[in-house]
Structure 1
Amino acid sequence: MAQDQKTGRPRLTDVAEIAGVSMKTVSNVINGYQHVAPRTRERVLAAVDEVGYRPNLSARNLARGRSGVIALVVPRLEMPYFSALAGRVIERAQARGWFVLIHETGWDRAAERAALEGHFPQRIDGLIVSTQRLSAEDLRMRTDRTPLVLLGEHGYGDLAHHVAIDNVAASRTAVEHLLDRGCRRIAMIGADPDDGDDPRMRGYTEALGHAGLRLDRNLMRRIESNSGEEGERATRDLLAQVGEPPDGLFAVTDWVALGAIRALHLAGLHVPDDVAVVGFDDIPYARAVTPSLTTISPDRTAIAELALQMLEAQLSGGELAEPVDQHVPFHLVVRESTTGIGAAPAEDQEPVA
């Protein structure tokens, strides 16, 4: 078998010779084109395995006028949700021959805008941004034409592709779970009572309204950052200012919820006997703490897959080429923070689209 004299690796011609087909047919199979006969495809793939052929992705991307690199922009990779999301994006991108460049913005709007304009040290084929601060005006002013997909709570209509779970429905599900447990004084940590556009805040208020309960602003606390420290501070502040403590608590993220649980314990309150707690994101730590945390679990694999499909469509055309706002499933994972220490976990709730 002849080999590439420069690299010593098997060549496309070797695969074609063993399979008894043309190099064009081999190329069609390797690139996933669908108009190859099934038996021919099987012969080519068997030949690929036999000679150990691996495509030269750099050369392939160069021929297509692409870099083979996409960028994933997140606020902080140290945050468990974003590190888990990055893992899913890398996994799905590798299946497409893409390398993922990860960039942090530190929750800074200027950094998000710079990413939006393609300020990277190398050329990229696509951009996935988990946005926290971008406005619709930022998108209207964008001049860079790199394919873009936004992640996060807020959609932007026809201004950009966007993938998320239905945050209103997810928050409503979380609060309804507390209501089903008999909770009636339900606090929300991470709420801004004056932000009517906050989808998690909307889900909280909708659930209370459907239950016939009055919205009590004294049970709502803002946070300055998405952290356990802020969850603890906000919960401690709430407990100091209300005469009667809440019997349920919904936190905007698991990280915040874990801080809230610490504040409750330090105040002599037991979770869930005195206060049942629900978080959001299903980070790995939610399963390992005591009590384990009931939470909303987004389908991160579906988020990554759909975001990459949207990038592909923008690069090559297709049904997802035009800006679209799409939801992926989530489900409620019930653990000890609402059922009691030692209770069997109920992690098989039906996903909600």
Structure 2
Amino acid sequence: MTAPTMQDVARLAGVSVKTVSNVINDYPYIRAETRTRVEHAIDELGYQLNTSARSLRSGRTRTLGLALPELSLPYFAELADRVIRAARRSGQVVQVETTNGDRTRELDLLRSPRLQFLDGLIFSPLGITPDDIDALPKALPVMLLGERIFGAPADHVTMHNVKAAAAATSHLVALGRRRIAVIGEHPDEVVGSAGLRLRGYREGLEQAGIDYDPALVVPAGLWHRANGASAMRELLGRGAAFDAVFAFNDTLALGAMRVLEEAGYRIPEDVAVMGFDDLDESQYSLPSLSSVDPGRAEIADLAVSMLLERIEGRVPEAPRLVEAPFAIVDRESTLGQGVDTSSSM
């Protein structure tokens, strides 16, 4: 079989080849319905732009790097999918690397000669620290994701971890919950998702006039389902009374819910459960999981568009910091059967 062409995309979408080219090159004055048809045709056919001639003319490879801690966590897998889709719409391909959040592997990546074949890098670090800022490439545009490094000479897209966690806690309080446990603490962490979400949780309690109880805070190293289950067993073993659980990501929450149900707790009648990330699978768990949508789609789209602006020299030299909007998504694990509503913050 021959590779699909731009003409094939145009025929499937029912538009001209020029329109397909305009969509690929992110021309702004295209109707949303037309853009969507072309993007769906590109996805259905698996069309990829031939970048060889372009790179010879422009000196660009039209290849972006995406470095994530791991793809076994659904959040990063869904983020990668969104980044790849956004890049494809602009005629870019994406090379994905995983680092396991290990500082040595992250530094090796930043020093790798493979970077010379990229036009830019989207990088979500977990291992390196602000002391490693000098390791960031000087000649390659870099887009930072996450909360590990701030103040670097690079554009940065992140989420409202503190505000979103405070809003999630306040939301549980508004539902009448007063003994809210949290799962996913990383002891002594200040900079990072766990530390920031714990701060937001404490702010939410303070706003409600509820005392912070360390007995309701349970650590979990890697935020996987098995650790959510283990953390819930630890919480139950402590014997502390609780009527809600705020897990610092959805996979922790899903593991915790399994243990709660095995122990005979009704969700949400006995214990309301709130996650963070709003994974696709959270809509289909039993009960469906309430969660914080941290703006993953916006983070991916902004990361690609801002990085391309930087590559093309269309922005001021000073680095930019953008926080994506978030929303509280209520489902059965907080509101009971048959309810699925969301409220933007």
TM superposition score normalised by structure 1: 0.80
Structure 2 equivalent of residue 43 of structure 1: none
Sort the Cα spacing of 1:31 and 1:85 in 2 relative to 1 into closer, same or farther, 3 A: closer
Determine whether 1:180 maps to 2:147: no
Structure 1: state its 5+ residue gaps.
1-8, 11-26, 35-53
Structure 2 equivalent of residue 205 of structure 1: 202
Aligned ranges for residues 149-298 of structure 1 at < 5 Å?
A: 149-192=143-186, 194-197=188-191, 198-242=195-239, 244-298=240-294
**Structure 1 residue 259 displacement after superposition:** 0.8
Structure 2 equivalent of residue 312 of structure 1: 308
1:80-116 deviation digits (Å, cap 9, x = unpaired)? 1111111111111011111101111122221122222
Percent of residue pairs bearing the same amino acid type: 39
Sort the Cα spacing of 1:320 and 1:256 in 2 relative to 1 into closer, same or farther, 3 A: farther
Give me the whole-angstrom Cα distance separating, in 2, the residues matched to 1:202 and 1:192: 12
Sort the Cα spacing of 1:290 and 1:209 in 2 relative to 1 into closer, same or farther, 3 A: same
The question of whether the paired residues in 2 share the 8 Å contact of 1:313 and 1:320 is answered with no
1:132-170 deviation digits (Å, cap 9, x = unpaired)? 222111122335521111111345124322111211111
**Structure 1 residue 245 displacement after superposition:** 2.7
C-alpha RMSD of the superposition: 2.7
Paired positions, count: 308
| Residue identity in the other structure for 1:281 | D
**Structure 1 residue 33 displacement after superposition:** 8.2
The question of whether the paired residues in 2 share the 8 Å contact of 1:314 and 1:322 is answered with no
**3-state DSSP of counterpart to 1:282:** coil
Sort the Cα spacing of 1:64 and 1:295 in 2 relative to 1 into closer, same or farther, 3 A: same
Sort the Cα spacing of 1:30 and 1:206 in 2 relative to 1 into closer, same or farther, 3 A: closer
| Residue identity in the other structure for 1:346 | T
Give me the whole-angstrom Cα distance separating, in 2, the residues matched to 1:55 and 1:293: 39
The question of whether the paired residues in 1 share the 8 Å contact of 2:51 and 2:61 is answered with no
Which of the residues 104, 113, 122 maps onto 1:110? 104
Structure 2 equivalent of residue 3 of structure 1: none
| Residue identity in the other structure for 1:114 | D
Sort the Cα spacing of 1:321 and 1:77 in 2 relative to 1 into closer, same or farther, 3 A: farther
Give me the whole-angstrom Cα distance separating, in 1, the residues matched to 2:54 and 2:84: 20
TM superposition score normalised by structure 2: 0.82
**3-state DSSP of counterpart to 2:273:** strand
Sort the Cα spacing of 1:320 and 1:253 in 2 relative to 1 into closer, same or farther, 3 A: farther
Structure 2: state its 5+ residue gaps.
7-20, 29-47
The question of whether the paired residues in 2 share the 8 Å contact of 1:172 and 1:203 is answered with yes
The question of whether the paired residues in 2 share the 8 Å contact of 1:235 and 1:264 is answered with yes
Give me the whole-angstrom Cα distance separating, in 1, the residues matched to 2:151 and 2:116: 29
